[in-house]
Amino acid sequence: MSSFAFSVLFVVFLLLTLSLRTWLAARHIRHIGRHRASVPAEFAPKVPLAAHQKAADYTVAKTRLGLIGTLWGAIVLIGFTLMGGLQLLSLAILPFTGPGLLHQLVLVVAFAVIASVLDLPLDWYRQFVLEQRFGFNKMTPGLWWGDLVKSTFVGALIGLPLLWVVLKLMEASGQLWWLYTWFVWSGFQLLMIAFYPTVIAPLFNKFTPLADVSLKQRIDGLMTRVGFASRGLFVMDGSKRSAHGNAYFSGFGRAKRIVFFDTLLSRLEPQEIEAVLAHELGHFKLRHIVKRVATMFAISLAFLALLGYLKGQAWFYTGLGVLPFMNASNDGMALILFMLVLPVFTFVLAPLGSITSRKHEFEADAFAAQHTDHRDLVSALVKMYEDNASTLTPDPLHSAFYDSHPPASVRVKRLTMAAA
């Protein structure tokens, strides 16, 4: 392929992706607007009109901000690639590092820093304007900046050694570097799953053992019935950052732990919490976590193999505005370009991931209905949708591209029909 042909292909897919995202956002906003005036019949007895309209307005605001972010991201993408931004950055670094591994390492770090700084204004607006307007923001500017500093430090501490290993493998391990890198990446992912709950997460949030004895007994009974062993039940102080509520599993093997947001515990009744937990337990017992990890490993292997081919093609660089070194490493540049353009070419495939994810959610709902009262799960879902201002009337096509969970109305209908 010629560099010009690849440039044209890139621009065509970028315009296609931008057009599709814009069209989906417009559909979503119109669909929500048409249903804003009244609560869907199946939720009318439980969801006040004011809460329904708040969810509609919040979702529309998020969608519009997301569209602005998409357009800004496209401008940044063009600036880094076809407008020569990465080429200029590489040349600016070259006098200080010379060509080779160090140059590629510094290039990736410099790109990551610049890209993060460019995203800061929208991140700030999202937290302190949009979330604040709808009553969800609980963060102070000091906490926000503190999180940013800590996450940057932790990311550098973990990411820089990993990046050095990957670049070294790309440079020195021959044609099968992508396979060796896949082994390293997969091992790293498993280590993160194992150590994140006990090492990294406590740097940002406080985790305390569940103190409610009666609730703990109820949950222990559920775990005994379904055959699940956990290292403990913990409450996370999510309320210091956001009013949104959630619950999740973390870790694997003997390190599994169950975490509840304090915001969730303050809103749901004990039987509803049990039903939510039964849903999460369903993901584990039905091996959804293992399947997702296996899928992630398979996809990463395929993408690394593709990168293994692309990094040796001159048109991959020149078609994206970069003049590669002829007698030195271009590995860091290849990584950056690949990460930048991959979403452009793969966005149209997004619904394929949603299909599997939604299937898992339905199965976990059914599992919860088997081990708890389905009415408690329905009640909990309605409260969680209301508290998180999640719209009850998303556009189906937009939802297929962006939502890993089925719409509330579909989940409630399935639960009700299954119990009938």
Active-site residue list: 280, 365
Stated length of the chain: 420
Q: What is the 3-state secondary structure (H, E, C) of the chain?
A: CCHHHHHHHHHHHHHHHHHHHHHHHHHHHHHHHHCCCCCCHHHCCCCCHHHHHHHHHHHHHHHHHHHHHHHHHHHHHHHHCCCCHHHHHHHHHHHHHCCCHHHHHHHHHHHHHHHHHHHHHHHHHHHHHHHHHCCCECCCHHHHHHHHHHHHHHHHHHHHHHHHHHHHHHHHCHHHHHHHHHHHHHHHHHHHHHHHHHHHHHHCCCEEECCCHHHHHHHHHHHHHHCCCCCCEEEECHHHCECCCCEEEECCHHHCEEEEEHHHHHHCCHHHHHHHHHHHHHHHHCCHHHHHHHHHHHHHHHHHHHHHHHCCCHHHHHCCCCCCCCCCCCHHHHHHHHHHHHHHHHHHHHHHHHHHHHHHHHHHHHHHHHHCCHHHHHHHHHHHHHHCCCCCCCCHHHHHHHCCCCCHHHHHHHHHHHHC
CB 86 within 8 A of CB 333: yes
What span, in angstroms and rounded, lies between the C-alpha atoms of 297 and 352?
Answer: 16
- The gap from C-alpha 224 to its chain's centroid, in whole angstroms, comes to 31
| 340: nearest Cα among 292, 307, 369 | 307
CB 279 within 8 A of CB 298: no
Long-range CB pairs of 139-142 (<8 Å, 24+ gap) are: 139/240, 139/241, 139/242
- Residue 211 has φ and ψ, to the nearest 5°, of -95, -20
Helix 177-195 and helix 141-172, axial crossing angle in degrees, nearest 10: 150
